[in-house]
């Protein structure tokens, strides 16, 4: 069932549930080669969300800024290849949402523990922001904040639960968004954790 969240943004609730075991083993495999780490923002703050990447390009931040890089700065090696289950899920979800021909080359994996948050921001580091972004939520539910083009636009709160897939395209692609501090809890599969995968066309 498609649920419109905003202009060009479509939620596919529970769409990834049947793939959860395959997705979790894909994330484990990625994290074995490229461990989760807390990156530093250009302003010098350590992010509360732990991150890793797979695919031809990975999103990184350090004192120099935000960018996509072919190599993991922690290991000096290329990011692990994008597992087929992630690529195929993203392509199928994008098509279901009305964006055929989506071929992601970057997957950012965000890991939240209780208290971790992502402040309101725009995603503008991708070369062609005409491509959608596909997000997959796993583990504890989070409260997603969804604003508008301007930082001061009103913000709605939308729950994102285990297995939810959301495709963010069209005007929504540039809307401000964030994640409120994760509440404590215990998910049957992931414990006190939330994982979010964002699949993108970065290059």
Binding site: what residues are annotated? Answer: 59, 66-68, 110-112, 121, 123, 125, 151, 177, 194-200
Is residue 91 a contact residue for ligand MD3 (CB under 6 A)? no
Q: Does 99 engage in binding with ligand MD3 (CB under 6 A)?
A: no
Annotated binding site for substrate: 59, 66-68, 125, 151
Structure tokens at 158: 């939308």
**Sole binder of ligand MD3 in the list 23, 57, 116, 133 (CB under 6 A):** 133
**Count, residues near ligand MD3 per rule CB under 6 A:** 15
Binding-site annotation: residue ranges for 2-oxoglutarate: 110-112, 194-200
Q: Is 172 in the site for ligand MD3 (CB under 6 A)?
A: yes
Point out which residues pair with 157 in neighbouring strands. 145
Nearest approach, Cβ of residue 148 and ligand MD3 (Å): 11
Nearer to ligand MD3, 12 or 108 (CB): 108
175 contributes a contact to ligand MD3 by CB under 6 A: yes
Choose among ligand MD3, Fe ion, none what residue 135 binds, the Cβ cut-off being 5 to 8 Å by kind: ligand MD3
* Residue 123 found at the interface with Fe ion (CB under 5 A): yes
**Closest approach of Cβ 86 to ligand MD3, in Å?**
14
User: DSSP secondary structure string, the chain?
Assistant: -EEEEETTEEEETTTTGGGHHHHHHHHHHHHHHS--B--B-TTSPBPSSEEEEEES-EEEEETTEEEEESB-TTTSSBPPPPPHHHHHHHHHHHHHTT-TT----EEEEEEE-TT--EEEE----SS-TTS-EEEEEEES-EEEEE--SSTTS--EEEEE-TT-EEEE-GGGGGS-EEEPPPPP--BTTTBS-EEEEEEE---
Which of 12, 179, 199, 202 binds ligand MD3 (CB under 6 A)? It is 179
Report how far residue 35's alpha carbon sits from residue 5's, in angstroms, rounded to the nearest whole number.
33
What are the residues binding ligand MD3 (CB under 6 A)?
Answer: 108, 110, 118, 123, 133, 135, 166, 168, 172-173, 175, 177, 179, 196, 198
What are the residues binding Fe ion (CB under 5 A)?
Answer: 123
């Amino acid at each position: 069932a498609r649920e419109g969240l905003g202009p060009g943004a479509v939620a596919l609730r529970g769409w990834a549930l049947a793939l959860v075991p395959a997705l979790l083993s894909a994330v484990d495999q990625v994290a074995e080669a490229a461990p989760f780490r807390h990156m530093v923002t250009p302003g010098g703050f350590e992010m509360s969300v732990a991150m890793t990447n797979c695919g031809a390009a990975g999103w990184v931040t350090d004192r120099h800024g935000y960018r996509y890089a072919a190599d993991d700065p922690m290991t000096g090696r290329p990011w692990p290849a994008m597992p087929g289950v992630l690529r195929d899920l993203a392509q199928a979800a994008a098509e279901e949402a009305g964006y055929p021909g989506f071929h992601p080359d970057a997957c950012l994996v965000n890991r939240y523990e209780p208290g971790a948050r992502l402040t309101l921001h725009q995603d503008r580091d991708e070369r062609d922001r005409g491509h959608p972004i596909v997000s997959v939520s796993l583990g504890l539910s989070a409260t997603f904040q969804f604003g508008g083009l301007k930082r001061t636009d009103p913000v709605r709160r939308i729950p994102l639960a285990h297995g939810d897939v959301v495709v963010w395209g069209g005007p929504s692609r540039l809307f401000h968004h964030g994640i409120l501090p994760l509440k404590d809890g215990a998910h049957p599969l992931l414990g006190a954790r939330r994982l979010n995968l964002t699949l993108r066309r970065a290059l």
